[in-house]
């Protein structure tokens, strides 16, 4: 039973990572491959943000509590992901 539980946990973590990877590919269209662009000339340059700032932004966009003029666009982009997926994406983004 322990082996099954550990396997399920490991698969869950891998699944979250894969979803977060897809998110990053989608993000590149507006933010650049290395998050070096200001999306639509309005957003902060994500490459200049800390992991904590990125996490706050992604979770805030999902909750509808962050983002000023970009709030509506970004809520649609992040709403399909779990909070854990968004946290994993923030880690990956901050390492680029």
Out of 1.10.1060, 1.20.950, 1.10.760, 2.60.40, the CATH code matching 2-94 is 1.10.760
Count other Cβ atoms within 10 Å, centred on residue 15: 13
Which H or E run includes 62?
A: helix 51-63
Q: How confident is the model at residue 24 (pLDDT cuts 50, 70, 90)?
A: confident
Higher pLDDT, 83 or 10: 83
Q: How many CB atoms lie within 10 A of CB 46?
A: 24
User: Given CA atoms 37, 84, 75, 62 in this order, what sign does their dihedral have?
Assistant: negative
pTM as predicted: 0.75
Counting residues of the chain whose pLDDT is more than 70, the rounded percentage is: 76
Domain boundaries of the chain, sorted by first residue: 2-94
Sign of the dihedral through C-alpha 48, 51, 52, 53: positive
Tell me: pLDDT of 5 over 60: no
Tokens of 86: 């968004």
Model confidence at 6: pLDDT above 80 = no
């Amino acid at each position: 039973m322990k082996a099954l539980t550990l396997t399920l946990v490991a698969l869950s973590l891998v699944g979250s990572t894969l979803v977060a990877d897809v998110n990053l590919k989608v993000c590149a269209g507006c933010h650049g491959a290395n998050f070096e662009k200001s999306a639509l000339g309005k957003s902060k340059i994500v490459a200049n943000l800390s992991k904590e700032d990125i996490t706050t932004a992604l979770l805030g966009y999902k909750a509808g509590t962050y983002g000023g003029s970009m709030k509506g666009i970004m809520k649609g982009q992040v709403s399909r992901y779990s909070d854990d997926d968004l946290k994993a994406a923030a880690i990956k983004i901050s390492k680029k």
